[in-house]
Amino acid sequence: MDTLYAIPNPIEAGNTIAWERTYSASDFPAADWTAKCHLKLIGSSAVTIITATESGETFTFTITAAVSAALTVGDYEWVEVVEKGEGASIERYEQYRGTTTVRRFLGTSGTVDSRSTVRVIFEAIEAVLQGRASQDQQSYSIAGRSLERTPIADLLKLRQFYASEVAREDKETAIANGNAPSGKIRIRFIEPT
């Protein structure tokens, strides 16, 4: 197994995920500091906290298979911190921050919708605009607004935004799979004057 040095993106729910970090030993000696990763589903108040184990000056974060299986599929923000003390005297310093996506393990029995949240929203908007939306799609909510009550002009703006997000996802997936992005790269040579 290859050693990871950052939280992966994406994470497959139901898998064990582990990565290592080494922070400045002079600033944060492992014997005195605790490292934690706070993982928060975007749009939710639920936070999963992963406490690292230390070995020498290396902190190892492990999300067990059971913990990852309990994560809701979707986009997450995460932050790694080091801390010592507790209560009013706690010292906490942010080390790294980012985002990741939790997707459903393909070995899960039953029907699995592996579409991203962005793609689900885009397809719901498309269906409403085309006038053939299912009841579920018609009642889909974005930021507390139901699609069936959204004016067409607003739906068209939302469609444009989500279409660009879907295109960005598709491009990232193509690059991750070793495919070059489509499109032309233009180079212009200018002679010095």
Over the stretch 46-69, which tens digit does the pLDDT of each residue have?
A: 899 999 999 888 899 999 999 999
For residue 12, what are its two tokens?
Answer: 């497959």
Over the stretch 21-39, which tens digit does the pLDDT of each residue have?
A: 988 878 888 888 999 999 9
Measured CA to CA, the distance from residue 12 to residue 73 in angstroms comes to: 9
35 touches 81 (CB < 8 A) = yes
> 1 pLDDT band (50/70/90 cuts)?
low
pTM: 0.57
Q: Provide the percentage of residues in the chain whose pLDDT is more than 90.
A: 32
Span of 13-22, 69-78, 137-146, 149-158 with lowest mean pLDDT: 137-146
Number of Cβ atoms within 10 Å of the Cβ of 137: 17
Which domains are present in the chain?
11-103 (2.60.40.10), 117-169 (no CATH)
For residue 76, what are its two tokens?
Answer: 């997450």
**Helix 117-129, helix 152-176: angle, nearest 10:** 140
Q: What is the largest CA-CA distance in the chain?
A: 67
Compute the residue count for the chain: 193
pLDDT for res 7: 92
10 touches 103 (CB < 8 A) = yes
What's the mean pLDDT in 85-89?
89
